[in-house]
Amino acid sequence: MYVHSAWSIPYADRIGVAMLRIVRNGHMTPGEFLDFPKYGGGRSTFPYRGGCMFQRYIRQVMLNEVGKAGQERLRKAAVAVIGCGGLGTVVSDLLVRAGVGFVKIVDRDTIELSNLQRQTLYDEDDLARNLPKAETAAIKLKKVNSEVVLEPWVIDVNAQNIEDIVSGVDLVVDGTDNFETRYLINETCVAHNIPWVYASVAATCGMTMAVVPRQTACLQCFCGDAPFLRQLPSSDTVGIWGPVVNLMAALEVSESLKLLMGVKSELQGSLLYVDLWAGTFDTLRVHRRVGSCPVCG
């Protein structure tokens, strides 16, 4: 039996199928869908701005898991991405494309040649200009989605400024490369009841975990004060497989978007460990150390 691809169906019929699915799922009424200036039910000959929000996000709004309400929650959300290297560039890109309304990008570094292997927002022209990563990322992402407010912070994250960095955001996403900063993020987010998503990568492996203060285990519950963490392999010592960076960042963003939309994830309360070279995915249940964790207990 021949199965039509989506693009073998006439455009008008594709719009009809999309409308049927969206209306059936209760995301909007037929009238709302066909209100072209407001929701973008048809073709547009001008840049996607303002009223054409749902034309930009139509493939995402069609999902039962998102819908119109979920997209609106993303539009109103504010996120801080701390670190804009391998993980942070992919995270920032996906958040902006998904329609998160405000993204704060925090990184102190400038671009180096070795970054271009995996840090997807930068190119050789950026390297020649020697601009800070945070500013370069914001410039690139503004061209991707002008509706999103982007705020670059070119600073070194420390105990003196972490409170200002997380102020006013609904979620923090980890794009850092060291546990000292991650512990600082963990302590501050738990203290201010801000969810955050941890991830780290080295060689061909990565792991990620969402922290929802006083609902799930925090990073301290999982790692404790183990001094060996300071000696764990890093991309500087063991290298990094580019595809694992993209995968772990995508997993971070998926969990982040669920949290921003108020959706409980099956992964909440668990750490996901991936060895992409071996093709293995393992989950480890991490329990809160109630009464004994110095951060969240």
Q: What is the pLDDT of residues 228-256, one digit of tens each?
A: 665 666 777 789 999 999 999 999 999 99
Segment 21-42 mean pLDDT: 51
The two beta strands, 196-202 and 205-211, are: antiparallel
* Structure confidence at residue 28 (pLDDT): 60
3-class secondary-structure state, position 47: coil
What are the residue boundaries of the structural domains of the chain, listed by start? 10-63, 76-285
3-class secondary-structure state, position 194: coil
More confident residue, 52 or 12: 52
Report pLDDT digits (tens) over 10-22.
Answer: 444 445 555 555 5
**Rounded to a whole number, what is the distance in angstroms from the first to the last CA of the chain?**
59
d(Cα 83, Cα 133) in Å, to the nearest integer?
Answer: 9
* Structure confidence at residue 106 (pLDDT): 98
Report pLDDT digits (tens) over 244-292.
Answer: 999 999 999 999 999 999 998 888 899 999 999 999 999 999 999 998 9
Domain spanning 76-285: CATH superfamily: NAD(P)-binding Rossmann-like Domain (3.40.50.720)
* Structure confidence at residue 46 (pLDDT): 32
* Structure confidence at residue 230 (pLDDT): 57
Exposed, middle or buried, 230 (CB in 10 Å: 0-12/13-18/19+)? Answer: exposed
d(Cα 250, Cα 254) in Å, to the nearest integer?
Answer: 6
Q: What does R_g of the chain's alpha carbons equal in angstroms?
A: 20
Query: Do the Cβ atoms of 87 and 256 come closer than 8 Å?
Result: no
* Structure confidence at residue 132 (pLDDT): 97
Report pLDDT digits (tens) over 138-168.
Answer: 999 999 999 999 999 999 999 999 999 999 9
Segment 66-83 mean pLDDT: 97
Give CA angle at 49 (33, 255), nearest 5°: 75
pTM of the model: 0.84
Q: What is the DSSP letter of 9?
A: S
* Band (36; pLDDT cuts 50, 70, 90): very low
Which CA distances in Å does 201 have to 84, 179, 238, 246?
14, 12, 11, 10
d(Cα 163, Cα 9) in Å, to the nearest integer?
Answer: 52
* Structure confidence at residue 224 (pLDDT): 82
* DSSP-derived secondary structure for 135-146: HHHHHHHHHH-T
Report pLDDT digits (tens) over 109-128.
Answer: 999 999 999 999 999 999 99
